[in-house]
Amino acid sequence: MIGLDPWVLWVAVAACVYMAWNIGANDVANAMGTSVGSHAITLKQAVLLAAVFEFAGAFLVGGHVTDTVRKGIVSTDVFVGHPELFVLGMLSALLAAGVWLNLATYLGLPVSTTHSIIGAIVGFGLLVGGMSAVHWGKLGSVVLSWLISPVCGGLMGWLTFTYIKRTVLSRWNPVRAARSIVPILIFPVAMVLTLSMLYKGLKNLKLDVSLDKALLISLAVGTVSFLVLKVILNRKYSTRPRKRTDAFAQVERLFAYLQVGTACSVAFAHGANDVANAIGPFAAIVSVFRNGDLAMNVPVSLWILALGGMGIVVGLATWGHRVIETVGRKITSITPSRGFSAEFATATTVLVCSKMGLPISTSHTLVGSVIGVGVARGMAALNLKVILAIVNSWLITIPATAVVTVLIYLALKALAL
Amino acid sequence: MRRTIFELFAKSPFGPLQDHMAKIMECVRLIPDLFRAIEAGDDEQIRIITEKVEKAEFEADEIKNQIRGDLPSTIFTPVDRDDLVDILSFQDHISDVAEDVAVLYGMKKLPFPESIREPFWGFMEKVMLTVEQYARINQELDKLMQSSFGGAEAGRILEMISALSVLEHEADLKQMGLLRKLLSLEEELGALNIVLWMRIFQCVGDIANGAEKVGNRLRLFLSN
């Protein structure tokens, strides 16, 4: 058994729940803000959908990214024989990320939880294990994904909105065009969401679905969604379009249906990717406590994924709903057709990255997607200064969390050993 | 709260651009009233209307400055930001020349001969039709934004701009006729009065010219 008091484990539980709470309290708003801002869904609906899909995302798909955070960045080899150092390091990283998030919030920096935790883990790896302790190749691909994911979101946002422009907004009768295009658009949304749940998702529930089977089921779900929405729209909007003056308002009302779907997808994708920021280091600590050494080849326990998911939901319920409300009230310029494009782009990008085990920032991907819609002439005015603020926060976050981690680690070591 | 990524969403300039034009129309629509008062020789009314024109022009200026302040160079708009700023200053020019009409008349009390009244009102009517046409185009800006500056909505606007050009040309023709009439009154009015009237009529004509110019500038939004 390792020479560590059980209190270390309890501190780790607290730090993990605090981090998950933080994600639910603040980051979920970033994911859901556009849906509420465009009035596609109400605050209550947003909170409900977010709770269900954030948890589902965390529980079903959260394991991939969690594995990267817990064993992909820092090599466990250098800690053989000293598992307690590894435990203290991971705990320091968790605490440092939390402290930095609070500080950044206070300073008003658009900091990402993902970048904080990765910076923290790298900091401890360098301090304890030196250069060789860090998997530079893996870290490089993670950092690259931070650059690629907003660009990818932007490209998809641009494509999606350009498609909507061509097929709906440019038409002489945009309402009629929307009635036939909107049900078609729900197809990829439902399909991507189902596929990401089924493929490698249900493994946790001992239901491993093969890729072709998963594809088949997602195709079916997409088709059913298409038919259901088609019936709804035909029944609800069978009347001839009213005055031309409110044609675009009516088009946007139709797109609001789609945004319910993308809001679910974004919440699911966010849960899947961001839960790792809280439970990644924690899962690493737990496996050392349980096995007494650094055997890391066991999968992340279900209860840890559930704990992270619950933490996010609690953060959402206690504080996050207020942030969503504030954010939603702040963004009034986004309409459902634009919101749909940006959210579809974000959800798809984040889901693909999650499956690849890449910890990225959902918020920054969303910013990229919104700018993509803007480049397709979809947004009235975007303040690009935010990009500068984000780049600044990248440059500050990594060294800052690394340094805080080192300080906490030294303090913990003095206390615990 | 870390919600600063939402500073990404800046204030739309299109609504304020419509508010700006509404204020300018408030100013321009006073000009026919001004000439009715001149016709009636009602000095008190002339003074009141002139004050109203100056007030509306000042308020339009304030809206203009507000919009400019909300458009720093980091703001990304769906149309070229410079075009947007140009549209704004061209719109503003319309109320500037409207104010000039009132100010110029205030310089010297001018006789308004019976024989130029009819051609004048014919000219004034065309000028107002022209500027009202642009005001209608301006009212479509929000829909143009919603349709993302393309397709059928853009086609509609292009047609409206063509109609605007025709109206402005008609106003030009009326202005020629009016000037010809005015110049024939040299004996009766004297050279100085004729020069002043010419300048006033030029400013009235510039209201229509300004409307056409800003309409043509708007075409740039619709390209591609």
Integer CA distances (angstroms), B51 to A27, B56, B125, in order: 54, 9, 23
Closest chain A residue to the Cα of B15, Cα to Cα? A380
B78 at interface of A, judged by CB pairs closer than 8 A: yes
Give the span between the Cα atoms of A361 and A350, in whole angstroms.
8
Give the span between the Cα atoms of A268 and A31, in whole angstroms.
10
A118 at interface of B, judged by CB pairs closer than 8 A: no
Contact A110/B2, CB-based, under 8 Å? yes
Which of B4, B10, B146 is nearest residue A389 as measured by Cβ atoms? B4
Q: B76 in helix, strand or coil?
A: strand
Number of Cβ within a 10 Å radius of residue B121: 16
Candidates A264, A343, A332; CA nearest to A45 is A264
User: Could you say which residues from 130 to 149 on chain A have a Cβ atom under 8 Å away from some Cβ of chain B?
Assistant: none
In this predicted structure, the answer to whether residue B119 has a pLDDT above a threshold of 80 is: yes
Number of Cβ within a 10 Å radius of residue A134: 20
pLDDT band for position A2 (cuts 50, 70, 90):
low
Please indicate whether residue A323 or residue A262 has the higher confidence score (pLDDT). A262
Number of Cβ within a 10 Å radius of residue A183: 22
Least confident of A72-81, A166-175, A254-263, B92-101: A72-81
Least confident of A85-89, B28-32, B97-101, B196-200: A85-89
A63-84 mean pLDDT: 89
In this predicted structure, the answer to whether residue B224 has a pLDDT above a threshold of 60 is: no
- Measure A101 CA to nearest chain B CA, in Å: 9
B146 at interface of A, judged by CB pairs closer than 8 A: yes
Please indicate whether residue B19 or residue A288 has the higher confidence score (pLDDT). B19
Tokens for A109, please give them: 């920096």
Give the span between the Cα atoms of A179 and A181, in whole angstroms.
6
Contact A380/B149, CB-based, under 8 Å? no
Residues A332-344: tens digit of each pLDDT = 889 999 999 999 9
pLDDT band for position A242 (cuts 50, 70, 90):
low
pLDDT at A243: 60
Phi, psi of A172 (to 5 degrees): -65, -40
Can you tell me the ipTM of this complex?
A: 0.91
Chain-wide mean pLDDT for chain A?
91
Cα B29 to chain centroid distance, Å, stands at 10
pLDDT at A206: 67
Alpha-helical regions (H) of A316-375 = 321-330, 336-355, 362-375
A297-318 mean pLDDT: 92
Rounded percentage of chain B residues whose pLDDT exceeds 90: 92
Residues of B in contact with A383 (CB under 8 A): 7-10, 74-76
| Residue matched to tokens 């301006």 | B138
Contact B149/A377, CB-based, under 8 Å? yes
Candidates A257, A246, A248; CA nearest to A186 is A257
Is B53:B98 a contact under the CB 8 Å cutoff? yes
Sign of the dihedral through C-alpha A131, A136, A142, A148: positive
pLDDT at A5: 79
Give the span between the Cα atoms of A97 and A285, in whole angstroms.
16
Residues B124-182: tens digit of each pLDDT = 999 999 999 999 999 999 999 999 998 999 999 999 999 999 999 999 999 999 999 99
Q: Residues in chain B, how many? A: 224
Integer CA distances (angstroms), B85 to A90, B75, B157, in order: 54, 12, 20
Phi, psi of B157 (to 5 degrees): -65, -40
Buried b / exposed e over B169-179, threshold 16 CB at 10 Å, is ebbbebbeebb
pLDDT band for position A1 (cuts 50, 70, 90):
very low
Amino acid in the structure at residue B170: E
Q: A417 in helix, strand or coil?
A: coil
Q: Where does residue A47 rank: exposed (0-12), middle (13-18), buried (19+ CB within 10 A)?
A: buried
Tokens for B140, please give them: 């479509």
- The angle subtended at Cα A220 by Cα A215 and Cα A223, nearest 5°, is 125
Which of B74, B79, B149 is nearest residue A383 as measured by Cβ atoms? B74
Give the span between the Cα atoms of B135 and B18, in whole angstroms.
9
Please indicate whether residue B175 or residue A328 has the higher confidence score (pLDDT). B175
In this predicted structure, the answer to whether residue B223 has a pLDDT above a threshold of 70 is: no
